[in-house]
Amino acid sequence: MTTSRIINALLADLPASPIPVRGVYVGVHWTMVCSRRCGLAATMTATEAPHGSYRVRDVGRLHTKSAQELATWLTSANPLEASIGLAAYNSLLSLEGLPFQELNAAEVLKHRGAGRNVAIIGHFPFVNDLRPLARNLWVLERHPAPGDLPASAAPEVLPHAEVIAITATTLINHTLEDLLALCPPQAWMMLLGPSTPLTPRLFEFGFAMLSGARVEDEAAALLTIQQGAAFPQVQGVRLLTLSSENVNSDPHGSGVKSGTTPP
Three-state SS string over 209-261 comes to EEEEEEECCHHHHHHHHHCCCCHHHCCCEEEEEEEHHHHCCCCCCCCCCCCCC
Q: Identify the CA nearest to 105 among candidates 91, 84, 87, 122.
A: 122
Domains of the chain: 4-92 (3.30.390.100), 105-215+237-247 (3.40.50.11590)
Instruction: Provide the residue type at 220 as one letter.
Output: A
pLDDT at 47: 65
Chain segment 36-66, per-residue pLDDT in tens = 999 999 999 876 666 766 789 999 999 999 9
Chain segment 54-110, per-residue pLDDT in tens = 789 999 999 999 999 999 999 999 999 999 999 999 999 999 899 999 999 999 999
Least-confidence region, from 49-58, 147-156, 162-171: 49-58
pLDDT at 261: 30
pLDDT at 255: 37
Q: Identify the CA nearest to 184 among candidates 254, 123, 119.
A: 119
